[in-house]
């Protein structure tokens, strides 16, 4: 995936697409969860993943420059590589005989990872030649639909992220007769989206290379089937969406009508939607160092307030 510059924390209410409602005192909405270890594993500049399918084993490598996917079957390999900067994808079903002629020791590699790495290296250096796949936008560029938003939000909810809320009283502190109240808001937005048309019978490796998502996730969000030739492909034409997905957390210290302090947290993913559901690739997290310490936020707010007096 591309490196994204860390951006300033934003409170862009005009861009929030999910309805934000004030929380009542009788309700305690959950805070934004920590990023789980699996997401962190997939967020680095490079990761590799090997996954077993029913009749194949797929290898996915994701770097800053490219995503490469190789599915090894008994008699052929499903190979694709996507270059991020050039926005180009190359793919081919390569017979095992062709692979063995280029890399004679592939089948006898000491480990499965070494076997796949040999094929990936041969693709990268051109020893195994793939054909460019033209990435087509739909004839009519769609707007972000409510269905796509629902798919993305369901993915977040399933991962433990809360529904949006605004100005929930998270805590309070009194000092020298002055009471500071900590209000908490959690909201979401989608920005900078684009779409790619994928024809029926698109090979699984294309979806893996295009998104960098694991095979298990692709099987949940795209309709695939095993062809008579024994390869995993898409069932019908579909439009794949790619989005920048943000979660914003904002904690504001208020004393009367004065806001002497605030802290924020921004989490960003690249989201993908297919015909069934959505998948998210974690990109980065940016937050103030004291965001998680409600007591410190209130104390800082009170100190700032008294210094203004």
pLDDT tens across the length of the chain (309 residues): 333 322 333 333 333 333 344 444 457 899 999 986 555 545 554 567 788 888 899 999 988 899 999 999 999 999 999 999 999 999 999 999 999 888 876 555 557 778 888 999 999 999 999 999 998 877 666 678 889 999 999 999 999 999 999 999 999 999 999 999 999 999 999 987 889 999 999 999 999 999 999 999 999 999 999 998 899 999 999 999 999 999 999 999 999 999 999 999 999 999 999 999 999 999 999 999 999 999 999 999 999 999 987
Looking at residue 141, what is its pLDDT? 63
Outline where the chain has alpha helix (H). Answer: 37-43, 96-102, 112-124, 146-158, 204-211, 215-221, 294-308
CA 138-143-145 angle, 5° bins: 110
Cβ 144 vs Cβ 194: under 8 Å: no
Outline where 126-187 has alpha helix (H). Answer: 146-158
Model pTM score:
0.83
Task: Residue 264: count other Cβ atoms within 10 Å of its Cβ.
Answer: 18
Cβ 200 vs Cβ 72: under 8 Å: no
In the chain, what are the domain boundaries?
13-34+46-308
CA 131-126-204 angle, 5° bins: 45
Classify 184 as helix, strand or coil: strand
Give per-residue pLDDT as tens, 174-204. Answer: 999 999 999 999 999 998 788 999 999 999 9
């Amino acid at each position: 995936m591309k490196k994204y510059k860390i951006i300033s924390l934003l409170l862009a209410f005009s861009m929030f697409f999910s309805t934000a409602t004030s929380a009542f005192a009788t309700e305690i909405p959950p805070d934004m969860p920590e990023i789980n270890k699996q997401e962190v594993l997939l967020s680095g500049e490079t990761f590799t993943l090997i996954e077993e399918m029913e009749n194949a084993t797929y290898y996915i490598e994701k770097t800053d420059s490219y995503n490469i996917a190789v599915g090894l079957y008994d008699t052929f390999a499903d190979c694709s590589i996507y270059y991020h900067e050039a926005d180009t994808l190359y793919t081919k079903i390569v017979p095992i005989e062709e692979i063995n002629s280029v890399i004679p020791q592939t089948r006898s590699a000491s480990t499965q990872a070494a076997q796949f790495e040999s094929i990936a290296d041969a693709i990268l250096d051109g020893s195994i030649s793939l054909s460019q796949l033209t990435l087509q936008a739909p004839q009519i560029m769609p707007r972000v639909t409510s269905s796509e938003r629902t798919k993305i939000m369901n993915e977040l909810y399933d991962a433990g992220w809360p529904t949006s809320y605004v100005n929930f009283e998270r805590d309070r502190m009194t000092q020298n007769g002055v009471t500071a109240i900590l209000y908490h808001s959690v909201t979401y937005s989608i920005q900078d989206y684009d779409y790619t048309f994928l024809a029926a019978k698109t090979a699984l490796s294309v979806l893996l290379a295009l998104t960098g998502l694991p095979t298990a996730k692709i099987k949940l969000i795209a309709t695939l089937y095993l062809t008579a030739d024994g390869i995993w492909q898409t069932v019908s034409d579909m439009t794949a969406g790619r989005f920048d997905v943000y979660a914003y957390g904002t904690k504001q210290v208020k004393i009367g009508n004065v806001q002497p302090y605030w802290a924020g947290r921004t989490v960003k993913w690249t989201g993908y939607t297919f015909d069934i559901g959505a998948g998210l690739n974690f990109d980065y997290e940016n937050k103030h160092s004291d965001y998680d310490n409600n007591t410190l936020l209130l104390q800082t707010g009170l100190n700032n307030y008294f210094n203004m007096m």
